[in-house]
Amino acid sequence: MRAGEADHALQLCWQLADRGHEVDVLTTKGCLNPEGANFRVHAIMPSWTWSDLPKFMRFLARCSPDSVILMYIGFIWNDHPMMTFAPTFSKRILPSVPFITQFENAEGASAHDTSPIIRYVRNAIAFCVGAKRADYRFGTLPSDNDRLIVLSSTHLAQLAKFAPGLERKSVLIPPPPLMRINPDDGGLL
């Protein structure tokens, strides 16, 4: 994806793998394995919607990670609420595995513009996990994560509104200067 968040995820994967960690990346179908990658890329997810939830759960069970890191900003997930419940789904399969979300911004899923079926499933899942744990735009990302990474104190202040005690499990790590100029169209994109 042509977005700074995608480059940020790529750099994080390289750094973790360079430090000797086994890294498996779950991504969208059609994504290419980066040249020279020292980690495994699983480009198997069709669209990150409710219908893809079983595939997401099977991947977690099969991969059996030591931890899960989600890079989150609503638009990357097409503003679909499925990934806003990822920590809850992960804990169902891997209860002792830490789930960490890095918020690239304090932008949740804009589910108001989605179909009634998407909203119905979102509301049903929120009801099942408990209304106090589920925010309309952020699902259970603020409540069910073991740790949160934010890139600015402004993001932390915005997210803290959604879950009491969120600051205690959050860490502020400002982003490094890792943006590369896109060579397409002379870097204008």
Q: Which residues contact 17 (CB under 8 A, 6 or more apart)?
A: 23, 37, 38, 39
Query: What pLDDT score was predicted for residue 188?
Result: 55
- Bridge partners of 101, per DSSP, are 70, 148
Query: What pLDDT score was predicted for residue 186?
Result: 60
Q: Is residue 187 part of a domain?
A: no
Q: Is residue 70 part of a domain?
A: yes
Instruction: State the DSSP H helix or E strand holding residue 26, giving kind and residue range, or none if neither.
Output: strand 24-28
Domain of 91 in residue numbering reads as 46-174
Model pTM? Answer: 0.85
Per-residue pLDDT of 74-106, as tens digits, reads: 888 888 899 999 999 999 999 999 999 999 888
Q: Is residue 146 part of a domain?
A: yes
Burial annotation 107-127 (CB, 10 A radius, 16+ → b, else e): bbbebeebeeebeebbeebbe
Q: Is residue 41 part of a domain?
A: no
Average pLDDT for 31-51:
89
Q: Is residue 85 part of a domain?
A: yes
Q: Which of 32-41, 133-142, 153-162, 176-185 has the lowest mean pLDDT?
A: 176-185
Number of domains in the chain: 1
